[in-house]
Structure 1
Amino acid sequence: MGNQNIGIKFNEDFKKMVVDLYGTGRKVKDLSSEYGVSEVTIYKWIKRYPPVKLEDGTPVAADDITKLQKQIRRLQEENEILKKAMAIFARK
């Protein structure tokens, strides 16, 4: 409990790496002592980045799902614009 890393910011890749290591069976206590991050913080990361597995077993983080949903919405909007443009050109 003697971690003195109060106020240190960890980047998203580091957080995901620690969560991935947890997903491989490593103990939170071991990860905490190895990387100098409190156990409470690691548990927060695990909650934030729960490993979701696809049909083929590939893990996907919640942030990745959010990014994919945004991309799908953008592509749907582009598709609608193209459909309207085709309708305009088909009339000519």
Structure 2
Amino acid sequence: MSQKYTKEFKETIVQLHEAGQPVLDLVKEYGVANQTIYKWLQLYGKSKAENVSLHELQQMRKEMAQFLIKLYQSDEVVGLVDVKNFEFHLSGPLFNH
């Protein structure tokens, strides 16, 4: 019979692992199978790129575009930025909505 764990418990285990606690220690301390913990890491882990929500990804793209614009306009980098390449990156697939 499989054990039911709350979402809060699962997230706590994931946070403990992300803070540096090895899976084997979590297995011993909490009595959860290591395969179960690895599944939770995939579902709830913040360190995995595929766990970034679409909204978070769009926000990161927007922030990157704003950063690149500020960098391009900065007096410190004048002459160091290839304008054509810069414009290509801003209009490329990374910035399409």
TM-score, normalised to structure 2, is: 0.48
1:42 & 1:33 partners in 2: Cα distance? 12
Equivalent of 2:24 in 22, 29, 36: 29
**Mapping of residues 1-92 of structure 1, within 5 Å:** 6-51=1-46, 62=51, 65=53
Structure 1 outlier segments of 4+, above 6 Å:
none
2:38 and 2:9 map into 1 onto residues whose CA distance is: 14
Name the residue aligned to 2:62.
none
Task: State the number of aligned residues.
Answer: 54
Deviation digits for residues 35-86 of structure 1 (CA, Å, limit 9, x no counterpart): 000011000000011215xxxxxxxxx5xx58x89xxxxxxxxxxxxxxxxx
Percentage of matched positions with identical amino acids: 37
Gaps of 5+ in 1: 1-5, 53-61, 70-92
Tell me the CA shift for residue 30 of structure 1.
0.2
Q: Which letter maps to 1:9?
A: K
The structure richer in strand per residue is 1
* Matched residue type, 2:5: F
For the aligned residues, what is the CA RMSD? 2.4
Secondary structure of 2:21's counterpart equals coil
1 CA distance for matches of 2:2 and 2:45? 24
TM-score (norm 1): 0.50
The CA distance in 2 between the partners of 1:24 and 1:31, in whole Å, is 12
| The structure with more helix, counted as a fraction of residues | 2
